[in-house]
């Protein structure tokens, strides 16, 4: 039955995608349902689609969505997600004025699994392993040697109310999940809005993201592990409101890597009264946390609102990270501007002291953070996410 529904939806897209209103000449949106595994190339014309279940784009298959389309999941039908398997491609051609929006009918954070992409770019997992199994409940392998893996192109895409927690209590999905995705993939002008887990999570790989907004996500705005080393990231903007943990959580599975990711132009903001997922007992309220040998090169950073008692702008979580990454010169934060009197950096506990080489941690009153141009892509229910 699922295959029948999918086939009917595709036929509808092909035969009505170019329909127009006889009086105005405007293109009318297609209506359709997307479900099951997609095994042949598909082009979804501008329209309103229902996403049912875990939809997988198979190896060798390219799926395209036209600008202005809306794809709606429904938590009542179980776990929904759009999954790009290794070798598949997802092409989303949104624009600033006509983004492609993935949402959920109840507007409840954590009600579906978001967009998940797999590749075969390199990872460095726990104990230095080069492959691992996904933590999203799908048990997919990831990791490989193809640094230029190409999973497609995502431009002007908004994912709303994702971050599904699977019922086993250990598996989690995010707004956007990138498993060993390669540098041949384009990620530009994306919004992760009010999910119940991370806004974006990178599991190894070499892909970079430009013009990324993480707004109101319950866990971390940006998170990575498994030796992710994207080199061309810029304009990351996070606003935490209501519930939120770290602005950026950075780890490397306790492997002291010889490389690091690079991100320029970062804004991390936390609204007054924002609580951590675990409430007052969970000390996950810092702007940036480094742990398990997480590292990176970050510049032009603006941090505001991390004023909870005990919070700091930059937290070094463990002594090994302090020795290998701070003292080792593999954490670099330059042109940092911290508002609201938040402290610059601190250790977790009193067993070690954090001291950066002066060249690796610099402040500037002229830092500007992310530079983004708003529009429909960054507007939800009439509210500009960038204000």
| Percentage above 70 pLDDT, the chain | 92
Residue 348 forms part of a structural domain: yes
Structure tokens that stand for 13 in this block: 């897209």
pLDDT at 280: 60
Taking the C-alpha atoms of residue 107 and residue 197, their distance in angstroms, rounded to an integer, is 15
Predicted confidence (pLDDT) at residue 240 exceeds the cutoff of 60:
yes
87-125 pLDDT, tens per residue?
999 999 999 999 999 999 999 999 999 999 999 999 999
Residue 349 forms part of a structural domain: yes
Predicted confidence (pLDDT) at residue 235 exceeds the cutoff of 60:
yes
Predicted confidence (pLDDT) at residue 334 exceeds the cutoff of 80:
yes
pLDDT at 19: 42
pLDDT band at residue 342, thresholds of 50, 70 and 90? confident
pLDDT at 125: 97
pLDDT at 378: 98
Residue 135 forms part of a structural domain: no
Predicted confidence (pLDDT) at residue 4 exceeds the cutoff of 60:
no
The domain tally of the chain equals 1
Mean pLDDT of the chain: 92
150-160 pLDDT, tens per residue?
999 999 999 99
Predicted confidence (pLDDT) at residue 131 exceeds the cutoff of 80:
yes
Q: What is the mean pLDDT of residues 257-267?
A: 97
> The domain containing residue 350 runs over which residues?
234-366
pLDDT at 278: 77
Residue 60 forms part of a structural domain: no
First vs last C-alpha separation in the chain: 46
Give the predicted TM-score (pTM) of the model.
0.93
Residue 302 forms part of a structural domain: yes
Beta bridge partners, 70, equal 48, 101
What one-character-per-residue DSSP string does 290-343 give?
EETT--EEEEEEEEE---STT-EEEEE-SHHHIIIIIITT-EEEEEEEE-TT-E
pLDDT at 121: 98
Residue 286 forms part of a structural domain: yes
Residue 301 forms part of a structural domain: yes
Q: Rg of the chain's alpha carbons, rounded to an integer?
A: 21
pLDDT at 192: 98
pLDDT at 109: 97
pLDDT band at residue 282, thresholds of 50, 70 and 90? low
DSSP 8-state class, residue 272: T
Antiparallel, parallel or unpaired: β 248-251 and 288-291 = parallel
Predicted confidence (pLDDT) at residue 275 exceeds the cutoff of 80:
yes
Residue 280 forms part of a structural domain: yes
Beta bridge partners, 219, equal none
pLDDT at 23: 52
Predicted confidence (pLDDT) at residue 8 exceeds the cutoff of 60:
no
Residue 355, SS3? coil
pLDDT, greater one: 259 or 167: 259
169-210 pLDDT, tens per residue?
668 899 999 999 999 999 999 999 999 999 999 999 999 999
Q: Which residue has the tokens 């002066």?
A: 358
pLDDT band at residue 9, thresholds of 50, 70 and 90? very low
């Amino acid at each position: 039955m699922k295959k029948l529904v999918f086939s009917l939806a595709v036929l509808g897209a092909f035969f009505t995608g170019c329909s127009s209103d006889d009086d105005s000449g405007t293109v009318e949106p297609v209506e359709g349902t997307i479900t099951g595994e997609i095994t042949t190339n598909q082009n979804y014309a501008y329209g309103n689609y229902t996403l049912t279940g875990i939809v997988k784009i198979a190896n060798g298959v390219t799926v395209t969505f036209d600008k202005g389309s809306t794809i709606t999941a429904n938590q009542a039908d179980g776990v929904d997600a759009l999954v790009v398997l290794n070798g598949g491609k997802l092409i989303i051609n949104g624009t600033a004025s006509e983004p492609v929006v993935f949402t959920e009918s109840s507007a409840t954070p954590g009600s579906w699994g978001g967009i998940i992409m797999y590749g075969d770019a390199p990872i460095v997992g726990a104990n230095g392993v080069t492959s691992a199994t996904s933590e999203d409940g799908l048990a997919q392998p990831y990791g490989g040697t193809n640094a230029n893996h190409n999973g497609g192109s995502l431009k002007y895409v908004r994912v709303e109310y994702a971050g599904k927690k699977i019922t086993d209590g250990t598996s989690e999905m995010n707004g956007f999940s990138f498993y060993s995705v390669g540098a041949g993939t384009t990620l530009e002008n994306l919004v992760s809005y009010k999910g119940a887990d991370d806004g974006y999570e990178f599991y190894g790989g070499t892909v970079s993201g430009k013009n990324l907004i993480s707004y109101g996500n319950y866990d971390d705005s940006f998170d990575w592990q498994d030796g992710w080393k994207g080199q061309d990231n810029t304009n990351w903007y996070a606003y935490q409101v209501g519930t939120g943990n770290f602005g950026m959580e950075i780890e490397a599975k306790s492997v002291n890597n010889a490389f690091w990711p690079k991100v320029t132009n970062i804004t991390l903001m936390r609204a007054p009264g924002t609580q951590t997922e675990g409430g007052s007992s969970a000390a996950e309220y810092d702007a940036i946390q480094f742990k398990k040998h997480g590292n990176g090169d970050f510049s032009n950073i603006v941090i505001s609102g991390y004023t909870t008692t005990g919070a700091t702008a930059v937290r070094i979580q463990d002594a090994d990270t302090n020795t290998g990454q701070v003292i080792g010169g593999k954490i670099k934060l330059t042109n940092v501007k911290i508002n609201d009197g938040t402290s610059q950096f601190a250790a977790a506990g009193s067993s070690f002291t954090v001291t950066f080489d002066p060249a690796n941690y610099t402040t500037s009153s002229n830092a500007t953070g992310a530079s983004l141009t708003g529009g429909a892509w960054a507007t939800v229910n009439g509210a500009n996410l960038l204000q």
